[in-house]
């Protein structure tokens, strides 16, 4: 049994990972501050089954508090840290860049310092496809230049990747940086497009349509992301940057059409100009992930949307889960 600390463990990706790691027989510490970005009851619902497991420990605390981190590390002595906690969202980062820097960069630095102090030598860091910016080369590969982020959020992720490299070099901490590509599925945050659009279409309300509808994303189903994280744990040695995507692109209008088909309802579309900070496309080259960690995404986009809507329909009876 390994002791694994997951920051942001009550969130969308984190809670799905918690459930998987518990099933695999690990002790899991969920370190989460239940940020008020959305209703905390949603996160509480995410981990309600995990709380019944004696191998699960919930630590409600903030990664910006070095004292809390050190107390947790001292008491729990994790073998591995999976750092998922972050202020998320490109558009929100334009409104409050200082907060994003504080949480995402200084929070990551705190974790690395605490790991150094307590001799914890293995970490997985959740980065983002946003670091590629409007990269002209498609698909995006890990050795592509990522020196031109176009949002504060992307810049904080790039800065955190550099910190991870520094601590690997100086202190021999094994770190895999996983660049996630537009994760979706059950427990998806309510502000994310597929969740938000599903709500609005079901309610007969207009959906905001930014740009011309040809902007595309590499949507990656949550189970495939969890697969990539778990397989990374098995190979965690040195410093590596790894794309976790589906390596297929879906245009915005195609995404809406897929939700319409699943719901059997038409969307009411309100068009708006493209938003600052939004990239035109994301598209993952996953050849490194396939070769290094035997990663193989299995869920097609339309199948993932159907799975999400089934989960959402089941949870609609709980108002805070909508």
101 is catalytic: no
- Report the C-alpha gap between 254 and 214 in whole angstroms: 9
Domain definitions of the chain by residue range: 3-321
Q: Which CATH number fits domain 3-321: 3.40.50.300, 3.40.50.720, 3.40.50.150, 3.30.365.10?
A: 3.40.50.720
The pLDDT score that the predictor gives to residue 322 is 46
The pLDDT score that the predictor gives to residue 38 is 84
58 bridge partner residues: 30
- Cα 272 to its chain centre, rounded Å, is 26
Are 279 and 150 contacting, i.e. CB atoms less than 8 angstroms apart? yes
The pLDDT score that the predictor gives to residue 319 is 55
Average pLDDT along the chain, 322 residues, taken 10 residues at a time: 96 98 98 92 96 98 97 97 95 94 98 98 98 94 95 97 98 98 96 94 92 90 98 97 97 95 94 83 97 97 97 76 47
Catalytic hit among 153, 167, 221, 295: 153
The pLDDT score that the predictor gives to residue 276 is 81
Indicate whether this model's pTM tops 0.85: yes
């Amino acid at each position: 049994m390994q002791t694994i600390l997951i920051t942001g463990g009550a969130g969308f990706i984190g809670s799905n990972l918690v459930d998987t790691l518990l099933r695999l027989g690990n002790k899991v510490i969920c370190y989460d501050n239940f940020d008020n970005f959305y209703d905390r009851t949603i996160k509480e619902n995410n981990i309600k089954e995990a709380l019944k497991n004696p191998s699960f420990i919930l630590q409600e605390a903030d990664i910006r508090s070095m004292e809390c981190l050190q107390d947790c590390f001292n008491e729990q002595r994790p073998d591995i840290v999976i750092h998922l906690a972050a202020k998320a969202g490109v558009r929100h980062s334009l409104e409050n860049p200082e907060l994003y820097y504080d949480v995402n960069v200084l929070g990551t630095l705190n974790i690395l310092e605490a790991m150094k102090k307590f001799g914890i030598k293995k970490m997985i860091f959740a980065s983002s496809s946003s670091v590629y910016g409007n990269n002209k080369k498609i698909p995006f590969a890990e050795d592509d230049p990522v020196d031109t982020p176009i949002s504060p959020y992307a810049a904080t992720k790039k800065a955190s990747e550099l910190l991870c490299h520094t601590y690997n070099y100086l202190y021999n901490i094994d770190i895999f940086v996983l660049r996630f590509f537009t994760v979706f599925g059950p427990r998806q945050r309510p502000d994310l497009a597929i969740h938000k659009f599903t709500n609005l279409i079901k309610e007969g309300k207009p959906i905001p349509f930014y740009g011309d509808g040809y902007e595309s994303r590499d949507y990656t189903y949550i189970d495939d992301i969890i697969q990539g994280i778990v397989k990374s744990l098995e190979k965690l040695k040195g410093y590596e940057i790894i794309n976790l995507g589906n390596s297929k692109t879906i245009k915005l209008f195609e995404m809406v059409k897929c939700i319409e088909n699943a719901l059997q309802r038409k969307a009411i579309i309100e068009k708006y100009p493209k938003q600052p900070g939004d990239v035109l496309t994301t598209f993952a080259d996953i050849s490194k992930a396939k070769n290094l960690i035997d990663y193989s995404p299995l869920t097609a986009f339309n199948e993932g949307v159907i799975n999400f809507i089934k989960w959402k329909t089941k949870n609609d009876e709980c108002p805070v889960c909508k």
